[in-house]
C-alpha cells in the first residue's frame, strides 16, 4: 500500500497498522475490516466496514492480479463505492446449458 494511504488509515483509526498487513491491498483491506468490526473472520460486515472506511479516507479501489499464480496482466478491482463507477461499455453474451454447466455460445459476443 502507498505510504500516504497507510498514514491516513492510521490517523483515522488512531493506531498503527502492522507493517506486514500493508504489503498487499487485499490483506490491508481485510485487516481494516476485522479491526473495525472486532470479528475473527472476514465476512460481509467486515468487508462492508473496510469499504466504507477506505472510501471515507479517499481510497477509490483495491487492484490485485486476477490470478496470482498466472500473472497474465489481467486484474480484479474492488471498488469501495458504487457511486464512483459508471458503465462505459456493455457486452451481451449467450450461454446454453450443456450437461450440468453453462457454456458460451460460439460467436455470441456482441457489443450493444
Domain definitions of the chain by residue range: 3-85
The percentage of residues in the chain with a pLDDT greater than 70, rounded to a whole number, is 84
Q: Which pLDDT value is given to residue 20?
A: 96
* pLDDT tens column, 94-111: 777 888 887 777 766 654
Residue 38 pLDDT greater than 90, yes or no: yes
Per DSSP, the three-state class of 96 is strand
**Residue of 18 and 91 predicted with greater confidence:** 18
Give bridge partners of residue 91 from the DSSP assignment: 111
pLDDT tier for residue 41 given thresholds of 50, 70 and 90: very high
Report if pTM > 0.85: no
Query: What burial class does residue 11 get, using C-beta atoms within 10 Å of its C-beta: 0-12 exposed, 13-18 middle, 19+ buried?
Result: exposed
Q: What are phi and psi of 35, to 5 degrees?
A: -65, -45
Q: How far apart are CA 79 and CA 25, in angstroms?
A: 12
C-alpha distances in angstroms, 79 versus 26, 50, 55, 94? 12, 11, 9, 27
pLDDT tier for residue 112 given thresholds of 50, 70 and 90: very low
Residue 21 pLDDT greater than 60, yes or no: yes
Q: Which pLDDT value is given to residue 51?
A: 93
**Average model confidence (pLDDT) for the chain?**
85
User: Residues 59, 50: contact at Cβ < 8 Å?
Assistant: no
Instruction: Provide the CB-side half-sphere exposure for 16 (13 A, CA).
Output: 3
Amino acid at each position: 500500500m502507498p505510504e500516504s494511504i497507510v498514514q491516513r488509515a492510521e490517523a483515522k483509526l488512531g493506531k498503527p497498522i502492522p507493517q506486514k498487513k500493508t504489503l498487499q491491498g487485499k490483506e490491508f483491506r481485510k485487516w481494516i475490516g476485522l479491526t473495525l468490526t472486532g470479528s475473527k473472520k472476514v465476512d460481509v460486515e467486515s468487508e462492508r466496514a473496510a469499504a466504507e472506511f477506505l472510501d471515507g479516507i479517499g481510497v477509490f479501489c483495491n487492484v490485485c492480479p486476477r490470478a496470482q499464480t498466472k500473472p497474465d496482466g489481467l486484474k480484479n478491482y474492488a471498488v469501495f463505492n458504487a457511486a464512483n463507477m459508471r458503465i462505459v461499455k456493455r457486452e451481451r453474451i449467450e450461454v446454453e446449458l450443456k450437461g450440468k454447466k453453462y457454456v458460451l455460445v460460439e460467436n455470441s459476443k456482441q457489443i450493444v
